[in-house]
Amino acid sequence: MSVQNNLKKRWIYLAAGVFAMLFSGVLYAWSILKVPFKEDYGFAEKVLSLNFTITMCFFCLGAFFGSLICKKIGVKLTLILAGLLVGAGFVSTGLLTAQSSPWLLYITYAILAGTGIGISYNVVVSTVCSWFPDRKGFCSGCLMMGFGISTLLMGNVINAMFANSAFGVSKTYILIGAIIAAVLVAAGLILRKPSAEDKLPSPKSSKNVKKEAFESRDFKTSEMLKSFTFWRAFACMAFITAVGNSVISFARDLVISVDATPALAVTLVGVLSVFNGIGRILTGALYDALGRRTTMISANVLTIVAAGITLLAVQLHSLPVCIIGLCLTGLSYGSCPTVTSAFASSFYGQKYFSVNYSLMNFNLIVAAFIANFSNSLLAQYGNYTAPFTMLLILAVCALGLNFSVKKP
């Protein structure tokens, strides 16, 4: 098949991938999705915080196992499986009541839905990106943008459905689960990996990118894990991601603490997701234009600034400053998955990318536990000063690790 035909086909795959990620990204709307469990069902905040942590753990595990399953049964069946898991997770969560044990929430939302979305995330990213060897950063940025802006597009709809007596909590979860399942099944019927006969453009280096030395071979997963470079980058990304993860877990309550109304708080959670999406696609473009080192350091510095400004907003009790902090946090958090995807591909090759990328994504588990600790500090001290002070320190530590990342 000609390169021209593949250029047309891959844009269809990219559009399908973005659409699938748009619905899968509802996972990050937890600060909105958890509200009924807190206000109507009386679940403790520590229970809801732990649920988000467990969700991120199984999201990462799902991504890892998804990469292995996909090799055995292919893209189509793997995405259908993911859709069924997500659908079952959301539907069963919708059947919970105020008398339900928190463990049931962990099983339905965190384990079932989290695993399903993790599987779909890895399969969609690795499949679609394999069609863009010449524009890795741009492709991953578009996919991550879809995942990132989901909270804005779906979060407000979900919040309105919660408030509508025709839907309520139960029917909202059931309907959302059914829709996500249908979208992922449809994606499974559309997407496929390129075959040996498919001709694709060769990777090109921008003249603006400073020359960076990389190993010109594909690293097996075992080789990657033995690389000290991997662990430095892993820790760096975990610390950077922890800032965004923490803010996402309590974003709604954070802005309410500086005098935002509940309605405005929901909108601002959506604004956070918009900048999350913008950060993902801008980072992809920056990666393609300026290279790995400049992009990673820029993202890290932005994270430091975001944490610092949000801490200042808490100290000043200023809603405008808090909004600026949220926007910057969204941009910095959005840079993380794009950098992680492009980093794994650039440093360790495309052949084992699916598994290598899923393991690199385990930094989200570390970040989730840090986010849970942030919520513990919030509960202990009763304000956001302690959590953001810790997050600011971690972001600065990440910068030190960032400067030390060299070729594998």
Share of the chain above pLDDT 90, in %: 38
Q: Is 123 left (phi over 0), alpha (psi -120 to 50) or beta?
A: alpha
**What is the pTM for the complete model shown?**
0.77
pLDDT recorded at residue 272: 83
The sign one gets for the Cα dihedral 291, 9, 62, 116 is positive
- Binned at pLDDT 50, 70 and 90, residue 78 comes out as very high
The dihedrals phi and psi of 214, each to the nearest 5 degrees, come to: -130, 155
Is a pLDDT exceeding 80 seen at residue 83? yes
pLDDT in tens, 4-37: 556 778 899 999 999 999 898 888 788 788 888 9
Q: Average pLDDT for residues 241-255, to the nearest whole number?
A: 87
Residues written for the chain: 408
Domains of the chain: 3-193+217-404 (1.20.1250.20)
Q: Average pLDDT for residues 203-221, to the nearest whole number?
A: 61
Angle formed at CA 124 by CA 122 and CA 127, multiple of 5 degrees = 100
Lowest mean pLDDT among 196-205, 265-274, 324-333, 389-398: 196-205
- Binned at pLDDT 50, 70 and 90, residue 211 comes out as low
In this structure, the number of other CB atoms found within 10 A of the CB of residue 141 comes to 31
* Longest pairwise C-alpha distance within the chain: 63
The Cα–Cα gap between 95 and 83 comes to 19
Mean pLDDT of the chain: 86
pLDDT recorded at residue 17: 93
Within 166-281, strands assigned E span none
- How far is CA 105 from each of CA 25, 30, 48, 279, 288, rounded to the nearest angstrom? 19, 13, 9, 31, 41
pLDDT recorded at residue 82: 96
Q: Half-sphere exposure (CA, 13 Å, Cβ side) for 22?
A: 16
Angle formed at CA 158 by CA 382 and CA 149, multiple of 5 degrees = 80
CB 314 within 8 A of CB 378: no
pLDDT in tens, 157-173: 888 888 887 888 899 99
Residue 31's SS3 state is helix
Q: Average pLDDT for residues 79-85, to the nearest whole number?
A: 96
- Binned at pLDDT 50, 70 and 90, residue 49 comes out as confident
- Binned at pLDDT 50, 70 and 90, residue 213 comes out as very low
Q: Average pLDDT for residues 97-107, to the nearest whole number?
A: 91
The Cα–Cα gap between 405 and 11 comes to 33
